[in-house]
Amino acid sequence: MLFSSIPFLFYFLPVFFVLYFTMPIKARNVVLLLASLIFYYYGERGYVLLLVFSSVMDYTISLIVEKYRGKPAAKAALLVSVIGNLLILGFFKYSDFFIGNINAVFGTSLPLLHIHLPLGISFYTFQTMSYTIDVYRGQARPQKNPFDFAAYVTMFPQLVAGPIVRYQTVADQLTSRKHTWEGFAYGATRFIIGLGKKVLIANTLGELNQAALASGNKSVLFYWLAVVAFMLQIYFDFSGYSDMAIGLGRIIGFRFLENFNYPFIARSVSEFWQRWHISMGTWFREYIYIPLGGNRVSKLKWVRNIAVVWFVTGLWHGAAWNFIIWGLYFGVILTLEKLFLSNWLKKIPRITQHLYVMVIVIFSFVIFHLESVAGITEYLKGMVGLMDVPAVNSESAYYLRSYGFVLILAVFGATPVLKNLVNRAKLNPKLQPVAEALTPVFNIVLLLIITAYLVDSSFNPFLYFRF
């Protein structure tokens, strides 16, 4: 069930809110758990049992770790959790990838399994695995109530596409969170804004990207239009989902950490990744990079650590070589920045720093989008004018005019300009009452526009579901 769908917005969500807020506080986690299982079952049917199994496994293992803390049995239990979660993720996400590569290398003809990828499996396996690791490290106390723990794992606002919520972030809130009108109002506004980012901007840019890729009348402008549209589509798709998750969480009393912080204003690629998909970057740093030794090792091992992290980051995004290449591409860039490029960047004008980041990032989305090396090479050649195509043609000019307003809106929306203007208005004593009065009006009008768009359009994918 998509957040950006009529059944979720006008059937599931209202019924959930009525049941949730009319139940006693002690029963609300049970309501949240049941609603989350129904939410997941709606889209995945039998795979809800896999979600339940993952929750039960790590709940049980955490109690074993706590009981035998400091003994070999605790470490053995932790290994069962890590291996078990990786086997689940590996089987459902990477089986055909490994079989295909074995066939290619050894000339075999092993049949592919064609296993359906369960929604959110990359997120909830990481969450439950990190929970067990944190219990083992003593950074989190095991949750004794199985229903509260299951509510954390299955929580529908962030279940299928993150952000990756670590247990200690919400541990206290699971049992003693506050529900306020201020929180409800903030959450509703945040949710509607995220919904608008997804439906009005990401979906429209997706249409432009598909049209540009499908066109047989290519031009250099078309190549650039397609990749920029895809890059911004990914951003507004995923950051919009994160906004909706954070907003829904706030409505029911949870405070999830931010997942995006305007990455396109970054002045280095390192800063870009500190601002993009923050929960994922934090997870890989805490559970892979630091355990490998981080940067407190020899330079050679430090480079190895970066390479391992970015190889895994690429593989986590998808079972295809282009994702691995994409990850290693960033691993190389980040290594160079840490070795010497960062010092050079500090000496050049700020606008040049931004241009450097944007070129690196835009090229990365070509790798991220196209599955074959040949396709990536051809596309990059087209972008720099090495293909036998004109710079601009009538078709690409038409699409630029048709989607120009959305592109401009997306560019401004990807920066804090609009947010800063609104915040200044709210801090101005004369404008504050007007801003507060217009907020609910804005939310209602925006929701009506979004609803009209959803009723009229059939193009409504969530790109990160495939990762």
Active site residues: 317
Q: For tokens 């960033």, name the residue.
A: 330
| Radius of gyration of the chain from its Cα atoms, rounded to whole angstroms | 23
The token duo for 164 is 């990756």
Alpha-carbon distance of 115 to 328, in angstroms, equals: 27
Amino acid at 165: V
Is the bond leading into 72 cis (omega within 30 degrees of zero)? Answer: no
Compute how many other C-beta atoms are within 10 angstroms of the C-beta atom of residue 239. 24
**What are the b/e assignments for 335-366, b being 16+ CB within 10 Å?**
eebbeebbeebeeeeeeebeebbeebbebbbb
Compute the C-alpha angle 46/86/273, nearest 5°: 105
Dmax over CA atoms of the chain, in Å, equals 74
Residue from 411, 402, 396 nearest 221 by CA: 396
Angle at 237 between CA 234 and CA 239, to 5 degrees: 95
User: Cα-Cα-Cα-Cα dihedral of 67, 73, 76, 78, to 10°?
Assistant: 20
DSSP 1: -
Neighbours of 100 (CB within 10 A): 15
E strand or H helix that includes residue 286: none
